[in-house]
Amino acid sequence: MRQTLPFILNGQAISPGQQGRVFLPITRLYNNTPLDLEVIIEHGRYTGPTLLVTAAIHGDELNGVEICRRLLQRQLAAKLHGTLLIVPVVNQLGFIQQSRYLPDRRDLNRCFPGSARGALGSRMAAQIRERLLSQADYAIDLHTGAIHRSNLPQIRVDIDDPEGMRLAQLFNPPLILNAPLREGSFRASSVHSDTPMIVYEAGEALRFDPKSIRTGERGIRQVMVGLNMLPKRSHRSPKVKPVIATRSSWLRSESDGLLLNHAALGQYLSQGETVATIASPFVQGQVQQLKAKFDGIVIGLNHLPVVNEGDAILHIAELNGDPETQSRAASIQADFDDPNEYFPPIGDNSIT
């Protein structure tokens, strides 16, 4: 095994086998307060790839922040082959305001590849791409659903990208969803930088979800094992392999009223099955039943009990109805509905 050299970021050297913190200057606010991007570096003793893990590019998406904290709690540098770059909070301004967006209401995840002469979001995107993404061999970007919407733990990736699919399968989430690139997104920028990236979506904005956090932290370690960054004994192999879906769509309300959901995250649905009811709070007996348009699994759920016409209700990933797929979907739902899911005490690394 060949020993590695110090890792250099922004002129700061991190010695092999050590953890370091580097602050990348991004901009200054109008009151002259500096805005720096904090990067925690776990630099291994031996040579290997560099993996970048980012969270809270949307400032209200908190599960990824806790996933990063748990990774750092494990103090991996001593046994690491390669380098782990962790940015627990990318959008610090949104994080402070508990907002998805930057103060000017721009979505940072639509500002890539960015420009040194653009608006704040564009300048931040350019710095992240040039200083961090350029250093990485692989990347994992952590997200949640929006406010009042929760996502089943899933990896979004271009399934025609061999390296992206390899990362997704190593992560081994309940579901892998084929997702087209969105213009201006961090993932789209990674393609142009030749850095394979997967996006982990799980849980709801402004909420911690223990299942989503545990699945995400374990998935990242599984990727690291698969990339030979960590020894195989450092994790337990999951029992259920992911379901792969090539497309998905939102089922939308065709009227306004009270939403009564009949389906849960991870539930397998058959075409024509009633999944929700929209009931008028004013006219007795005035109801609309929403039915699944194809066989699939619920991967996104609207939690608001009051909806307007056209509101998204259920996000369903299309699956075929063969017995094997149904069996795997049933295993996902059973695992997701585990009533014993809880947060381990801080400092307890026994939870896998």
With beta carbons less than 8 A apart as the criterion, state whether 176 and 244 touch: yes
Residues in the chain: 352
Give the C-alpha distances (Å, rounded to integers) separating 248 from 42, 145, 179, 243, 244: 37, 15, 9, 13, 11
Phi, psi of 284 (to 5 degrees): -65, 130
Q: What is the pTM (predicted TM-score) of this model?
A: 0.93
Round to whole Å and give the CA distance between 96 and 178.
32
- Give the tens place of pLDDT for each residue, 38-77: 999 999 999 999 999 999 999 999 999 999 999 999 999 9
Tokens of residue 58, six digits: 């949307």
Q: What's residue 351's pLDDT?
A: 45
Q: What's residue 344's pLDDT?
A: 63
Round to whole Å and give the CA distance between 88 and 80.
19
The structural domains of the chain, ordered by start, are 7-243 (3.40.630.10), 247-336 (2.40.50.100)
Contacts of 204 (CB under 8 A, 6+ apart): 144, 145, 146, 147, 148, 149, 150, 151, 303
Q: What's residue 325's pLDDT?
A: 76
Q: What's residue 37's pLDDT?
A: 94
Task: Please report which residue ranges of 143-254 form alpha helices under DSSP H.
Answer: 162-171, 186-192, 210-226
- Give the tens place of pLDDT for each residue, 214-252: 999 999 999 999 999 999 875 565 666 889 999 999 999
Tokens of residue 10, six digits: 């922004």
